Amino acid sequence: MSAPFRPFPSASIAVHKYGGSSVATPELIRKVAARVASCRKDGQKIAVVVSAMGKTTNGLIDLANSVSAHPVGREMDMLLATGEQVSASLLSMALNDLGIPAVSLNAFQIGMMTTETHSSARVRDLDSSRLRRELDERGVVVVTGFQGITASGDLTTLGRGGSDTSAVAIAASLGCPCEIYSDVAGVFAGDPHAVAGAKRLEYVTWEEMLELASLGAKVLHSRAVEIAEKYDVPLYCGATFSEERGTYIVKGLPEWLEQPVVTGVALARGQVRVSLTGVPAETAFGAGLFTALAEQRINLDMIVSTSEENGTAALGFSAASSDVEAICATLKRFPAAGGMTIDDRVAKVSAVGVGMQSASGVAGQFFSALAEAGVTVLSVTTSEIKISVLVPDAEADKAQKALMERFGLVE
């Protein structure tokens, strides 16, 4: 095969991360091995981080649910961590067949220490001594993504997209750049599957990428961006089997590049809107409710509170629809005299761009575009670099398309 594009050609060490679609079959694993071997020929040492093959994780979850109605978190992590070990060992075998003396290592072997929160652990520390030793000796090491270990030695997993986090954490520990490869050719201004002609972005700032990732863009895990920003890790996203140039995630845009007002539009489905009326107007009520929800690890968004004529208040918020059961159980302890409504047929659409900080009239254009498209806005939240709205799920696609067209994000 021809030599692949190297985003950081001067780096002596680089981390490559390959997603599940890139290693979904034995044939694709051999193609990834050939790609890594080609990069290795230039003398660069490579730590390869892999996800589980294809839909393996989904299959393991289904398997667990077939034997247990309520799988224990610790045992789920024990089960799910096997997926990455399979792909890591197979890729190492393929590399050895190509004359690259690679070795596979799991989270325990590289000391990927995490918190004890099963299924959504956070990385605490990483001992890179063995990684460095193996890289010096072999040139290529294949590491399991998505998994870590607690101080007591139990396996944990980092949540969906956690292999991105593993890769960036390893790059931070090694002091080298990180290249994230998947079936998508970089970061787009919107979902290219939903909006034809969505622009591919050559550069995105860490700040923008963090917002886009947290608001529904699926190219890169938000915690991976957090680590990259904290430790100044050079980051690149590209397609595994394409030489089409991808996207650099950077601290600031190059001086020669014009700063767009809006960089991208993110769409997050699977949202729920909760509305309470007739609740006590005292701050203590909201404090108690939000504390109780936080104790259930429920992340809230778009919190709205308004006063009512009778001295009570109306309170609303949004959250992930997967948390509905826990939300309802918690709300039983905080009765609303006027009633409660829950709508799980909503989606969140967000426009993101650091250019908003210095541009006027962005909100006017944002809401004009939605109004002209006939989109119903249910809730609004803003920051210096984003505007997010909650809309009916049936109107989400046209909302995304209208915003991308208004802000010139479609080619």
pLDDT in tens, 184-206: 889 999 988 888 899 999 999 99
> Which stretch of DSSP H or E encloses residue 343?
strand 339-352
Please report the pLDDT score of residue 80 as a whole number.
96
- In angstroms, the CA 173 to CA 227 distance is 11
Please report the pLDDT score of residue 68 as a whole number.
95
Please check the confidence at residue 256 and state whether its pLDDT lies above 80.
no
- In angstroms, the CA 386 to CA 404 distance is 14
Please report the pLDDT score of residue 259 as a whole number.
78
**Residue range 370-397: mean pLDDT, rounded:** 95
**Residue range 292-305: mean pLDDT, rounded:** 91
Please report the pLDDT score of residue 255 as a whole number.
78
Q: Using an 8 Å Cβ cutoff, are 293 and 327 in contact?
A: yes
Radius of gyration of the chain from Cα atoms?
Answer: 23
Q: What is the DSSP letter of 248?
A: E
Per-residue confidence at 335, pLDDT binned at 50, 70, 90?
A: confident
- In angstroms, the CA 131 to CA 401 distance is 45
- In angstroms, the CA 305 to CA 279 distance is 10
HSE, CB side, 13 Å, CA atoms: give it for residue 127: 12
Whole-Å CA distances, 170 to 21, 33, 47, 141, 177: 21, 20, 8, 12, 10
- In angstroms, the CA 394 to CA 14 distance is 43
- How do residues 14-51 score in pLDDT, each as one tens digit? 999 999 999 999 999 999 999 999 999 889 999 999 99
* Sequence-ordered list of residues with C-beta below 8 angstroms from that of 325, at least 6 positions apart, any chain: none
Whole-model pTM? 0.89
Per-residue confidence at 374, pLDDT binned at 50, 70, 90?
A: very high
Please report the pLDDT score of residue 252 as a whole number.
84
Please report the pLDDT score of residue 173 as a whole number.
96
Among 213, 223, 214, CA closest to 167: 223
Q: Using an 8 Å Cβ cutoff, are 52 and 20 in contact?
A: yes
HSE, CB side, 13 Å, CA atoms: give it for residue 21: 10
- How do residues 52-106 score in pLDDT, each as one tens digit? 999 999 999 999 999 999 999 999 999 999 999 999 999 999 999 999 999 999 9
SS3 label, residue 10:
coil
**Residue range 139-145: mean pLDDT, rounded:** 98
Whole-Å CA distances, 390 to 94, 336, 374, 376: 47, 23, 14, 9
Please report the pLDDT score of residue 155 as a whole number.
96
Per-residue confidence at 217, pLDDT binned at 50, 70, 90?
A: confident
Please report the pLDDT score of residue 360 as a whole number.
85
Per-residue confidence at 1, pLDDT binned at 50, 70, 90?
A: low
Please check the confidence at residue 216 and state whether its pLDDT lies above 80.
no
Among 49, 51, 48, 52, CA closest to 63: 52
**Residue range 252-261: mean pLDDT, rounded:** 80
Whole-Å CA distances, 336 to 292, 297, 316, 339: 15, 22, 12, 5
Q: Using an 8 Å Cβ cutoff, are 205 and 248 in contact?
A: no
**Beta-ladder partners of 50:** 18, 144
Report strand pairing: 386-392 vs 379-383.
antiparallel
Please report the pLDDT score of residue 16 as a whole number.
98
Please report the pLDDT score of residue 2 as a whole number.
65
Mean pLDDT of the chain: 93
- How do residues 258-274 score in pLDDT, each as one tens digit? 778 999 999 999 999 99
